[in-house]
């Protein structure tokens, strides 16, 4: 199979490329100009640099040869709402325009969206694919990308997947949490006077399996699938991570107003420096929600999708990788406790 992956050098993209190579597929990896090809290797892997908002001839030629396209490239952080829509929505439109004009062999276009399109679940009842309540510019731009793909390009064999909170080796989102736990013996819990929030956590290997199922299944064209794992509370996540690190940790309870104050300062600094930061006001909005719980029942019923990596095992694998990569400074007690 000839496969094209945009955003191939990202956390999820690199895991997908690895799985495709192991299947024996020929993979064309699309990287944003100037970014690194670390984690992408293999005799059947080719690299091309292109901005999906300004596609070049090399990208057009690669699209023309592709049988599957996994579209992961996009903006996860940004300075303005306009940036998210320019990259996530209009970038998707431009790529689909190329597919329509010059991809005669295309069997499937898998658009990787986000479960945040569904919005939070305040009552704790799991949201499904019919839920539509994006609350941040990122989520709203992802919803617009879905509408473009499934509406204006309904003649293209599109399948949309909405991953929940994805974790695993190479994720940058766990770095601060792990360092806080490893060095200070703390894990964060947001909010005081309310039940503790829960979040659907999905290991990247399970997501990749779900994406491949979505690309292969004949009934997935024109459909949206939530791909998730199991929900955990902030305390459960913190305790599991602490155990994986081999440390004793206590909760650090942060009131929501303090969360937004810190986010406002970070957001202001990013605007002054013209450099987007991972933590900003929009991320604070996400963190302050009561729950992010989702149902993958549709993917199970149609695709046969079932998460296979228990959270405890996935957390251990993530922690071990980050310590080995020196993204996280492992506590001295880690090896000692692991040997007991």
pLDDT-derived band at 335 (thresholds 50, 70, 90) equals low
Residue/partner pairs of 268-271 with CB below 8 Å, 24 or more apart: 270/79, 271/79
Q: Residues 322, 137, 87, 271: what is their CA dihedral angle, to the nearest 10 degrees?
A: -80
Share of the chain above pLDDT 90, in %: 84
Task: Give the number of residues written for the chain.
Answer: 340
CB 321, CB 244: distance < 8 Å: no
End-to-end CA distance of the chain: 47
- Report phi then psi at 125, rounded to 5: -70, 130
For 154-179, what is the mean pLDDT?
94
- Report phi then psi at 267, rounded to 5: -65, -45
Q: What is the DSSP string of 172-203?
A: STTHHHHHHHHHHSEEEEE-SSSPPPEEEEEE
Residue found by looking up tokens 């000839």 in the block: 2
Three-class SS state of 47: strand
Starting at the earlier edge strand, list the strands of the sheet with 26-31.
45-49, 26-31, 2-6, 68-71, 108-112, 158-163, 224-227
Q: CA–CA separation, 308 vs 310, rounded Å?
A: 6
Q: CA–CA separation, 269 vs 68, rounded Å?
A: 41
Task: Give, as one character, the DSSP assignment of residue 51.
Answer: B
Copy the structure tokens of residue 172.
């940058």
pLDDT-derived band at 334 (thresholds 50, 70, 90) equals low
pLDDT-derived band at 338 (thresholds 50, 70, 90) equals very low
For 143-150, what is the mean pLDDT?
98
**Mean of pLDDT over the chain:** 93
Query: What is the helix (H) or strand (E) element at residue 70, kind and residue range?
Result: strand 68-71
Query: What is the helix (H) or strand (E) element at residue 5, kind and residue range?
Result: strand 2-6
Q: In the prediction, which pLDDT does 336 show?
A: 39
Q: Is 79 exposed, middle or buried (0-12, 13-18, 19+ CB in 10 A)?
A: middle
- In this prediction the pTM is 0.94
For 9-35, what is the mean pLDDT?
95
Q: What is the DSSP string of 213-275?
A: HHHH-GGGTT-EEEE--EEEEHHHHHHHHHHHHT---EEEEE-HHHHHHHHHHHHHHHHHHT-
Give the number of C-alpha atoms closer than 13 A to the C-alpha of residue 22, restricted to the C-beta side: 9
Query: 255 Cβ partners below 8 Å, 6+ apart?
Result: 191, 192
Give residue-wise pLDDT tens across range 233-268: 999 999 999 999 999 999 988 899 999 999 999 999
Phi-psi category of 330—alpha, beta or left, where left has phi over 0 and alpha has psi -120 to 50? beta
Give residue-wise pLDDT tens across range 74-129: 999 999 999 999 999 999 999 999 999 999 999 999 999 999 999 999 888 899 99
Query: 61 Cβ partners below 8 Å, 6+ apart?
Result: none
**Cβ neighbours of 274 (radius 10 Å):** 7
């Amino acid at each position: 199979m000839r496969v094209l992956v945009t955003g191939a050098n990202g956390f999820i993209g690199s895991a997908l490329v690895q799985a495709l190579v192991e299947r024996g597929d020929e993979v064309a990896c699309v990287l944003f100009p100037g970014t690194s090809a670390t984690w992408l290797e293999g005799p059947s892997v080719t690299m091309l640099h292109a901005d999906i908002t300004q596609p070049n001839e090399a990208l057009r030629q690669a699209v023309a040869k592709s049988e599957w396209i996994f579209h992961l490239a996009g903006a996860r952080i940004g300075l303005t709402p306009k940036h998210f829509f320019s990259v996530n929505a209009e970038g998707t439109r431009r790529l689909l325009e190329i597919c329509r004009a010059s991809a005669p062999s295309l069997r499937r276009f898998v658009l990787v969206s986000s479960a945040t399109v569904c919005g939070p679940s305040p009552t704790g009842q799991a949201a499904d694919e019919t839920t539509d309540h994006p609350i941040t510019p990122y989520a709203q731009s992802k919803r617009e990308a879905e509408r473009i793909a499934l509406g204006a390009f309904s003649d293209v064999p599109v399948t949309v997947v909405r991953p929940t909170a994805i974790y695993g080796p190479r994720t940058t989102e766990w770095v601060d949490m792990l360092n806080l736990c490893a060095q200070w013996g703390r894990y964060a819990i947001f909010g005081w006077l309310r039940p503790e929030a829960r979040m659907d956590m999905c290991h990247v290997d399970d997501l990749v399996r779900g994406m491949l199922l979505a690309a292969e299944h004949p009934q997935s064209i024109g459909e949206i699938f939530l791909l998730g794992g199991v929900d955990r509370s902030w305390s459960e996540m913190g305790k599991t991570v602490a155990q994986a690190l081999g440390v004793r940790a206590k909760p650090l309870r942060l009131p929501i107003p303090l969360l937004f104050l810190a986010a406002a300062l970070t957001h202001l600094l990013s605007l002054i420096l013209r450099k987007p930061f991972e933590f900003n006001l929009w991320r604070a909005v996400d963190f302050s929600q009561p729950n992010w719980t989702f149902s993958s029942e549709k993917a199970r019923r149609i695709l046969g999708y079932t998460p296979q990596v228990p959270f405890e095992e996935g957390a251990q694998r993530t922690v071990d990788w980050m310590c080995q990569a020196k993204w996280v400074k492992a506590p001295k007690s880690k090896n000692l406790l692991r040997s007991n």
